[in-house]
Amino acid sequence: MQVLLQPQYLKRFILTTGYYFFSYFGYYGFVLWLPSILATVYHLSLVKTFTYTLFVALAAIAGRAAAFWTIERFGRKQLFYVGFGLGGVAALLFGLIKDPSLLVWGACILSFLYEQGVAGTVVYTAELYPSKVRATATCWSTGAGRISSAVSPIVFGYFMKIHFYYGVFLTMAIFFWVAVALVYFLGVETRGRSLAEIGAA
Task: Give the pLDDT confidence score for residue 201 in this predicted structure.
Answer: 56
Pick the more confident residue, 199 or 179. 179
Q: Mind listing the pLDDT tens digit for each residue in 4-20?
A: 899 889 999 999 999 99
Kindly report the pTM of this predicted structure.
0.94
Query: What's the pLDDT tens digit per position in 51-102?
Result: 999 999 999 999 999 999 999 999 999 999 999 999 999 999 999 998 888 9
> pLDDT tens digit string along 150-193?
999 999 999 999 999 999 999 999 999 999 999 999 999 998 87
Arithmetic mean of pLDDT, 119-146: 94
121: phi then psi, degrees, rounded to nearest 5: -65, -35
Confidence of residue 22 (pLDDT cuts 50, 70, 90): very high
Tell whether the model's pLDDT for residue 107 goes beyond 70.
yes
DSSP conformation letters of the chain: -GGGGSHHHHHHHHHHHHHHHHHHHHHHHHHHHHHHIIIIIS---HHHHHHHHHHHHHHHHHHHHHHHHHHHHH-SHHHHIIIIIIHHHHHHHHTT---HHHHHHHHHHHHHHHHHHHHHHHHHHHHSS-HHHHHHHHHHHHHHHHHHHHHHHHHHHHHHHTT-THHHHHHHHHHHHHHHHHHHHH----TT--TTTTT--
Angle at 105 between CA 145 and CA 155, to 5 degrees: 35
Per-residue pLDDT at 78: 96
- How confident is the model at residue 74, as a pLDDT? 94
How many C-beta atoms lie closer than 10 Å to residue 73's C-beta?
8
Domains of the chain: 10-186 (1.20.1250.20)
Please report the pLDDT score of residue 188 as a whole number. 92
